[in-house]
Structure 1
Amino acid sequence: MLDIPFKDLQKDMRDAYVGGGTGVLASSIVWFVSGIVAIYATKEMSILTFFLGGMLIYPLGMVSTKLFNRTGKHQKNNPLAFLAFESTIILFIGLFMAYAIFQIEKQWFFPVMLMIIGARYLVFQSIYGMKIYWLLGLLLTASGIICLISNQPFQIGGIAGGVVEVIFGGLIIQLDRKSNQS
């Protein structure tokens, strides 16, 4: 068992990955582009863009992390890395569920994904020790519910995800930088 205090493990993750903010910003780009593709192409192309773009989030986040002079590497023995990985497995299961739902009702893909990603971000509070992730998760989940209940056009869910994540990505980076200045 590790004798490292939990808060130190969280700080290690924050320091390595700019509090996860660069990943949130990279994800916002995927949401925006997918929403825009939905306007000018088909729903299927939008989902393909979302899936393929989603595979670029981690590499884009890592490149962005380097711009903040961070390593993008946590301590090898940090068990929070496993939690981050496990939450990614949940994301892939959710993506499969959202696509299955898309086969039944096309309009529901982005609202369901907003709720899934929102739920995943709730776990990030434990990984990074930043309560802002609870707010991000709840806001994305609420956005999905609102899009679903109000039957918004397909692209609105993608654009909503982009708006929420670009704002929170910036806030998370600011909070991380501020905490490192203290």
Structure 2
Amino acid sequence: MVPSQPSVHILQRRVTRFVDTPGIWTKEQVEAWKPIVDAVHGKGGIFFCQLWHVGRVSNYDTQPKMLGIYMVESLNKYGIAYCHLIEPRMVLVEEKLVIPHSLQSMRNAFKGTFIVSGGYDKDEGNKAVAENYTDLVRFGRMFLANLDLPRRFELGAPLNKQDKITFYSSDPVVGYTDYSFLD
């Protein structure tokens, strides 16, 4: 749902943050974003403001589950189209890495499209969707190393080995441009 009038909401700065973590909680930040948001809305575009939790450096870390439920219930009030959450780190169970599936309460509370990421492979992603744990799964790192990932999934083809050092590099030769494609 797109608001009929452009609006900017101030998020209070209530967390300690990493250096260079973007924000929109000060009056200066809100004022700086207004012309950009107005221009996007003026051309019929939709503007997304990403909200994210900075993890253990936050002073809310004592109740992350309750905070998550509160946040998604708050998003419901505005008819937000989707909520994308990242699973906490995978855990080792019987010598196998397992996704903890700790977002179920937030999935149940959110009324829009629910998207998860965080260590999913093809089988785990399909299982999460089939069991109604999520609507969509994001395969971030896999896509960075396999730009033809849907085709590889379809054929059961092997995946390229990920070189995480090159994922966000500005090097024009090494990284996104040198992963192999299927023939």
Structure number having the greater strand percentage: 2
What is the TM-score with the length of structure 2 in the denominator?
0.24
Higher relative contact order (CA 8 A, sep 6+): 1
Q: Which has the larger radius of gyration?
A: 2
